[in-house]
Amino acid sequence: MPARRCVWVSRRWRLSGADALAIACYGMALGATNLVFYLALRSIPFGVAVAIEFSGLCSGHLS
């Protein structure tokens, strides 16, 4: 029985301007989220910062 190989093939496609803008905005939002979280860690206790971040995630799933 021949060995099976898993090969990943990169297929490039062109991004429209709207897609590139959406990806850039998404990346900036993730970066801002991380920045605000790390700034919060400097100001408030770690447990409180994690609880606030987690409660935001939970509220998004409950709605």
- What pLDDT is stored for residue 52 in this prediction? 80
Both tokens of residue 26? 């998404």
Contact 28/35 with Cβ under 8 angstroms? no
- What pLDDT is stored for residue 10 in this prediction? 63
Q: CA 32, 51, 48 angle in degrees (round to 5)? A: 90
Mean pLDDT computed over every residue of the chain: 80
Per-residue pLDDT reduced to its tens digit, 13-40:
788 889 999 999 999 999 998 898 888 8
Res. 2: pLDDT tops 60: no
